[in-house]
Structure 1
Amino acid sequence: MRPSLARARLLQQRPVRIVCMYYPTAMLPAHAAKAGYDAVWLDTEHNTWDPGELRRVIQLHHLANIDCIVRTGSRDPATLYHLLEDGATGLMVPFVNTAADAAALVRATRFPPLGERGLDGASLDNHFYLNGTTDYPAQANAQTLLIAQIETPEAVANVDAIAATPGIDGLFIGPGDLSLRLGCPLDWNEPAMIAAEDAVAAAAKQHGIAWGRPAGSAEQITAIAAKGAQLIAHGSDFGSVLVGLQQGGATLQSALPAS
């Protein structure tokens, strides 16, 4: 089974550098790996992916030797472990509000004794059964990441119990949904957002798991790293296109002011 770069860095108490992929972009895994990222957060919660296209893009992560963490809105056990069988390094699951939610995800995605994931072993994550399945369940449990998103006041209230759930590897704050439900602006200087972030950081530290969130600047990255964040997301295909086209348009305007 392919070793997880993110897992290795977490064991070394080092940050995991994550970029987001919103749309099928064949070149992104290779370019992200060369740019020094450890993982791509591939978003299928807010974007529609054809299943075959999704499998192909996950395979490109293996070719580039970079982790693929799929954010999925599904809670269906078979759908979740199909993503892992297809080669995803881990799953990021939105709206994990209770310890019961977290435990259900562990049951769906971990092999015994942690969970009840179904065993096959004939897919990419087990090298298509080339070496059998003797070590496969233990390796899958050891190398797969399961990240619970904290996005509601209920989740913040239950974050200690969520973090304490065996089989949960990390907590990841969803700032847009959290600020919306807290009734405050999406501003990390808002007292309610600071309190939520501190609660997540404290729970992760207490139970020895990772936590993180998107960070839009070097200052934000430094600030959350100082609080112990290890799952640090910065950059995306959407943002690169947005900024790149704005810069390109400005360059054209400056060179062709009368056109």
Structure 2
Amino acid sequence: MNTFKERLKNGEKLFGPFLNMNYPAVVEIAGLAGFDFVIIDNEHGEIPLEATVDLIRAAKLAQIPAIVRVYEGNPELVDKALDLGADGVQIPNIGSKEAAEIAVQAAKFAPMGNRGCNRFVRAGKYGSISKENFFGRANDKTAVVLQVEGQDGVQALPDILTVKGVDVLFVGPYDLSASLGIPGQVDHPKVIEQMEHIMEQAAKVGVAIGFFVDDVQKAVEWRNRGVQYVSFSSDVGELYVRFKENADYFKMH
């Protein structure tokens, strides 16, 4: 089976939800449902870093890749998420080439970066993986997802895209709309135009594009436009929608 990163390199279009609930069964359910990955949200969700390891274990059990979104580009947070065994890290608020370089270097062992070298962690199967295999292969397996959310990142995009080791450039449409002065209007022509321009720039250097949608029909539309990493809604959002549909149906019939 190809790794998450290999599937991206092969041009596959992948679909997965944000997870905000600190409950391993939700991860398993996502895998059973057929999603391609989950994003464990340490930024906006209710999941503390200490609980993330159990969600990653559940992902391995369900055979679904686990990406951890840290709450800031702090190298210690990136290092910790990867030590816990995440398949990749998603770093928010990348607004400059320097921020991108710091994020990538934190996720990569030397000579590509400065990730702390310790194989006696869950990612190294507690030391059962030889140092040659662990340190030698981790860089090729670990996915790095950088979020561009504001106009600073958009303006710096040509420089950000020169940074080696970026697998996905993720665009947050809600923050992007806010930075354009039209908060929440994610379907506004200005947002669409800017998103398409970002996609064109990323395609030139072979970096996959990620995009958030909270409607499955929009997910299909953006997939068909070339978005490879389609992040879809959240566990709590989808649970609410399903609960609401059934509660309303019961009351109306």
1:48-59 mapped onto 2 (5 Å cutoff):
48-59=46-57
| Number of residue equivalences | 253
Deviation of the 1:14 alpha carbon: 0.8
Deviation of the 1:208 alpha carbon: 0.5
Contact 2:72-2:93 at 8 Å conserved across structures: no
One-letter code of the match for 1:73?
Answer: Y
Deviation of the 1:48 alpha carbon: 4.0
Q: Which residue of 2 aligns with 1:200?
A: 198
Q: Which residue of 1 aligns with 2:234?
A: 236
- TM normalised by structure 2 equals 0.93
Describe the SS at the equivalent of 1:148: strand
CA–CA separation in structure 2 for the residues paired with 1:215 and 1:50? 24
Describe the SS at the equivalent of 1:135: helix
Describe the SS at the equivalent of 2:24: coil
Q: Which residue of 1 aligns with 2:64?
A: 66
One-letter code of the match for 1:178?
Answer: L
Q: Which residue of 2 aligns with 1:191?
A: 189
CA–CA separation in structure 1 for the residues paired with 2:250 and 2:70? 39
Contact 1:106-1:168 at 8 Å conserved across structures: yes
One-letter code of the match for 1:165?
Answer: V
Runs in 1 of length 4+ with deviation above 4 angstroms?
A: none
Contact 2:56-2:86 at 8 Å conserved across structures: yes
C-alpha change, 1:219 and 1:243, in structure 2 (3 Å) is closer
Q: Which residue of 2 aligns with 1:39?
A: 37
- TM normalised by structure 1 equals 0.91
Deviations 1:55-104 (A, max 9, x none): 21111111111111111123322221111010111111111011111001
Q: Which residue of 2 aligns with 1:7?
A: 5
C-alpha change, 1:12 and 1:207, in structure 2 (3 Å) is same
Larger Rg: 1
Identity of aligned residues (%): 25
Describe the SS at the equivalent of 2:131: coil
Within the alignment, does 1:128 sit opposite 2:129 as a pair?
A: no
One-letter code of the match for 1:177?
Answer: D
More displaced 10-residue stretch of structure 1: 26-35 or 108-117: 26-35
* Unaligned residue ranges in structure 1 (runs of 5+): none
Within the alignment, does 1:30 sit opposite 2:28 as a pair?
A: yes
- Among residues 137, 140, 153, which one is paired with 1:139 in the alignment? 137
* Unaligned residue ranges in structure 2 (runs of 5+): none
